Amino acid sequence: MPRGKVVASQVSGPLAVGKMAYDVHCASCHGTNGVGTDKGPPMLHRYYHRGHHGDGAFFIAAKRGVRQHHWKFGDMKPVPAATDAQLANIVKYVRELQRVNGLF
């Protein structure tokens, strides 16, 4: 995770749509701007770098859920309300957050 203050990406167009979907479906566990919470891990962590967890891993996690493996938050339940289009925009938004915070 980046040290110090997290840089929030300036978003517009599809990234703004992704941020809105992230805020609805992901932020309660993964935190505003991907910083994590006591319910879920930060998306701004090397584990979620595209070289470790590719974009498809985000789709699988949201569609099927994920057993606990990197963190001690318990299993991630599926997010059935998130559509494929929303997930695609969420991934773009998360990757942009990662980029502006120096994760790639």
Helix or strand run (H / E) with residue 90: helix 84-100
Residue range 14-100 forms a domain whose CATH class is mainly alpha
Q: How many CA atoms lie within 13 A of 20 on its CB side?
A: 8
As a whole number, mean pLDDT of residues 27-46 equals 94
Query: Domain residue spans in the chain?
Result: 14-100
Q: What CA–CA distance (Å, rounded) separates 28 from 40?
A: 8
Cβ neighbours for 31, distance < 8 A, ≥ 6 positions apart: 37, 40, 42, 43
Q: Is the pTM of this model over 0.75?
A: yes
Q: What's the pLDDT band for 14 if we cut at 50, 70, 90?
A: confident
As a whole number, mean pLDDT of residues 75-88 equals 96
